Chain A
């Protein structure tokens, strides 16, 4: 197996090879057009792969301090001082303490005086007036015409920016000490690397010459130049999580409702809809719900704030419904035995049951056989919480045909449940004012257990006959599914408010079920 070699490493090895197998990091960097740091940081990896050997040479390097640099520019203060004294001639120690001379600053005066005295460049002579006069000695005078070792040292370091200790001429070593003492130079320890190409390195290089270039991104350039034929793609770490994206997405409840639609259309049902603001007539009376039925009380329906009544004409159908309520009319029923009020029937409410759409569909005179379904928003006065909502959806369905039976009703319900993925269904008798016999159905959910999901039945003759159908020849199977509750089970949520979630991040992240 060949070792993996990065592009930088490859450049280093190639350069080393050109340099006859040996070179310093600096030199390699210069030849390979890399930064020295890039070369140095690759050393460990190259050594570990056995491609090079590397030797480290730790050396002391000197460079000038700020003070040192200023002396290179202006000259040493002690030399500038004696020059100034010579120019001024008559100078006393008092003068030197009180004032500056020449271009020296106060601190330079002090430093200069100190070192000039130490070097024996000044002579002090006591005068009769009590003052001490200052003269430049011969040595001091001669030094003005030559460079001191210190000056020479500072200059060559400045010329080289920094210098290894070993590169400084030995005659200047005393000056180095002095410069250090005077804080004119600073030292630091630097590692100098020498890299030597190993045999293994040479072999790797041979195979590298044949090996393709490694690229991280496929670019237009690589494609059109044909370089993609030679390059190798840097493999990615596919375990790393990708950055999150939130592009467009359907609401999880929409996805579920679309599934329900598909199932029912597949079973031959025609979709219908009806008004959200509904007349009590369609919501209750047409469904043979007596006008004093508890479900019609104010705490079970939202009443529209208006004194106006629905514009329902008093058709034959409406009259038939009235007579059926009052005395059963020709339906064979006893009726409810009360005085039916058209005004109550025309009161406006928010639809409380999707069955209102079934009533409208029947009254519109659909021809048997006919199958209808509706996904209907319904409203009930309820305080919204985890399990209750004032607004929810029901999935209504009717089958209008000759010769339908209770067994057929159960057949449709079982089939629908099966299409949704519920294999186990059970039925119990139920009660709805508009169906007889009535059924409630439970489906078995792996996590929840038996769930009551729908009510169903055969429409009563009091509902069918006023709409103009021949009963019992024509039967109407009807059901209403609490589709929201089913959606919750299938979407694995336990809060009904999520069906209309105000939480954007939840919507972005919630997995979809199909």
Chain B
């Protein structure tokens, strides 16, 4: 979830009503946020990723005003036209084909406005913009720009300007190789032979999207009027980003102006603040919420949610959705907003009368029985992670490496594969406990994963049970009597066939068979394996495939 920092006093000023901190915290919880931390005036707040309009304090204030009934419905922001055109050159088509823009004037340049704007820009880049791939936002001081602006893709060798916070001119290639922002986002452009560029009529470079703006057009403390652009690969995505920024600035009192985007074959004006319409059935709302709301009550709740609506005909409400809310794909999304406006804390839980028969998985019932028997036999249950590493599974265990499920992106090499048997992880467990009183008798019932070309997800899971005894002196007989007891208790006839395993002592190891089907092994761990795990006392083990036992029994 995105986390933002806001000023408590700024929020209160924007809402226009004094709210004590503890009350505010509960309120924010009810509008899909959560206050993580408060330090003096600074609040750290988390919001759900679908509510991009609340990634700055202005959006939060707008929502809270509705929720508290201070101001409801869709806000009517002042909007007009500005004589500015962006000409889109066909060269950008194959690189980053779309652009939108707006002019914003009458910015009150207090600290909070710019700080919130910068934070909003960054959060939109990282979430909605998918780290600038889908949407990249540029903010400029309007007075440094002379229209019309051209959006064009150029050969990197021809691009040369002073990037933001730099003192010298750099070529596009230099920026991608040397500038910190260039290096961070180089992967978005590298594969193209032309890079997108915004240039004004005097030839001043505004920016090289989605990498960096120019120093020449930088916003300073003296800036009152802004030009904003958003570029990307999908028009809908960049429009929402522009709308969120514009609307949130407007919420603070700034004036929004549309500009003209001239494509070779069409023209559009942005930002477009026209609300989206979606039909909503009253019945549907009540069906989902389990309530009995009238259409009027629903419209009232829509307004509290800062949406709007009117009755088209009986049972059908035309809902209006503001242009900065992309989170409405289906009428059910409106229902959630109605529920939020109603207050999740006011909804009464109710248990339906649905009769079904509960049932445990057969494998779990079996696993539970095996655990009971092993506990009765005097063994302590352990639970190792299924994730482990090849050193534990093969090197220390002196087993020839075989295919296992391995991950491409481990966070630690200790946890990089899924185990295909339990015993090696059990020996690893014992190695942490060499000073714990003996005898040590442990067992585990758990899953192992084995690659299989035939299976849907190219692997099969098996439920295994493994047990180990360690003491100053331990024999094959000690572990054999446990295995014998276990299998007799579940009425399974087995026999042992002497077999050599690299990790067991020769002549003291056997394969466990049921009706000629191998189901596991038993034996004394080879001294070299003990040494590899740092174990000083002998260990005797068995491991059986419970999935196979279930099949056979």
Measured in the bound complex, the distance between the Cα atoms of B428 and A390 in whole Å is: 18
Is B433 part of the binding interface, using a Cβ–Cβ cutoff of 8 Å?
yes
Residues of chain B with a CB closer than 8 A to A499's CB: 383
Is A272 part of the binding interface, using a Cβ–Cβ cutoff of 8 Å?
yes
Measured in the bound complex, the distance between the Cα atoms of B350 and A137 in whole Å is: 132
Q: Are B358 and A264 in contact (CB under 8 A)?
A: yes
Q: Are A251 and B32 in contact (CB under 8 A)?
A: no
Q: Are B408 and A303 in contact (CB under 8 A)?
A: yes
Q: Select which of A337, A350, A508 is within 8 A of B407 by beta carbon.
A: A350
Q: Are B458 and A308 in contact (CB under 8 A)?
A: yes
Q: Are A268 and B354 in contact (CB under 8 A)?
A: yes
A476-514 to B contact mask, C-beta < 8 Å, 1/0: 000000000000000000000001111111011000000
Q: Select which of A251, A261, A404 is within 8 A of B383 by beta carbon.
A: A251
Measured in the bound complex, the distance between the Cα atoms of B123 and A370 in whole Å is: 41
B348-372 to A contact mask, C-beta < 8 Å, 1/0: 1111101111111101100010010
B77-85, B264-272, B334-342, B525-533 - interface stretch = B334-342
Nearest chain A residue, comparing its CB with the CB of B127: A294
Is B449 part of the binding interface, using a Cβ–Cβ cutoff of 8 Å?
yes
A10-18, A34-42, A408-416 - interface stretch = A408-416
Is A248 part of the binding interface, using a Cβ–Cβ cutoff of 8 Å?
yes
Most chain A CB within a 10 A radius of its CB, from B290, B345, B349, B359: B349
Is A461 part of the binding interface, using a Cβ–Cβ cutoff of 8 Å?
yes
Residues of chain A with a CB closer than 8 A to B130's CB: 292, 294
Is B303 part of the binding interface, using a Cβ–Cβ cutoff of 8 Å?
no
Please tell me the number of chain A residues within 8 Å of chain B, measured between CB atoms.
100
Residues of chain A with a CB closer than 8 A to B127's CB: 294
Q: Are A369 and B409 in contact (CB under 8 A)?
A: no
Measured in the bound complex, the distance between the Cα atoms of B449 and A391 in whole Å is: 14
Residues of chain A with a CB closer than 8 A to B352's CB: 401, 403-404, 408, 411
B367-395 to A contact mask, C-beta < 8 Å, 1/0: 01001001111111111111100000000
Q: Are A271 and B350 in contact (CB under 8 A)?
A: no
Measured in the bound complex, the distance between the Cα atoms of B445 and A254 in whole Å is: 10
Is A334 part of the binding interface, using a Cβ–Cβ cutoff of 8 Å?
yes
Is B48 part of the binding interface, using a Cβ–Cβ cutoff of 8 Å?
yes
Q: How many A-B residue pairs have CB under 8 A?
A: 275
Residues of chain B with a CB closer than 8 A to A292's CB: 130, 134
Q: Are B350 and A408 in contact (CB under 8 A)?
A: yes
Measured in the bound complex, the distance between the Cα atoms of B365 and A270 in whole Å is: 13
Is A377 part of the binding interface, using a Cβ–Cβ cutoff of 8 Å?
yes
A272-310 to B contact mask, C-beta < 8 Å, 1/0: 110111110000000000001010001100111110101
Nearest chain A residue, comparing its CB with the CB of B372: A250
Nearest chain B residue, comparing its CB with the CB of A349: B407
CB interface residues, B 200-225, toward A, < 8 Å: none
Is A21 part of the binding interface, using a Cβ–Cβ cutoff of 8 Å?
no
Q: Are B49 and A427 in contact (CB under 8 A)?
A: no
A341 to chain B, nearest CB (A): 16
Return 27 A-B CB contacts under 8 Å, by A number. A254-B381, A275-B457, A275-B461, A294-B130, A305-B408, A310-B456, A332-B330, A332-B331, A369-B355, A381-B409, A384-B415, A390-B385, A390-B411, A401-B352, A405-B350, A406-B290, A406-B339, A407-B290, A408-B352, A428-B344, A430-B32, A431-B49, A462-B330, A502-B428, A502-B433, A504-B429, A507-B382
Chain B residues close to A by CB (< 8 Å)? 29-32, 34, 48-51, 127, 130, 134, 234, 236, 284, 287-291, 329-333, 335-336, 339-340, 344-345, 347-352, 354-361, 363-364, 368, 371, 374-387, 405-412, 415, 418, 428-430, 432-433, 436-437, 440-442, 447, 449, 453-459, 461
10 tightest A-B contacts by CB? A405-B290, A431-B48, A265-B358, A410-B349, A407-B290, A437-B336, A248-B375, A268-B356, A411-B351, A333-B330
Chain A residues close to B by CB (< 8 Å)? 246-251, 253-254, 258, 261, 264-273, 275-279, 292, 294, 298-299, 302-306, 308, 310-312, 328, 331-338, 348, 350, 369-371, 377, 379, 381-384, 390-391, 399, 401, 403-408, 410-415, 425-431, 436-439, 458, 460-462, 472, 475, 499-505, 507-508
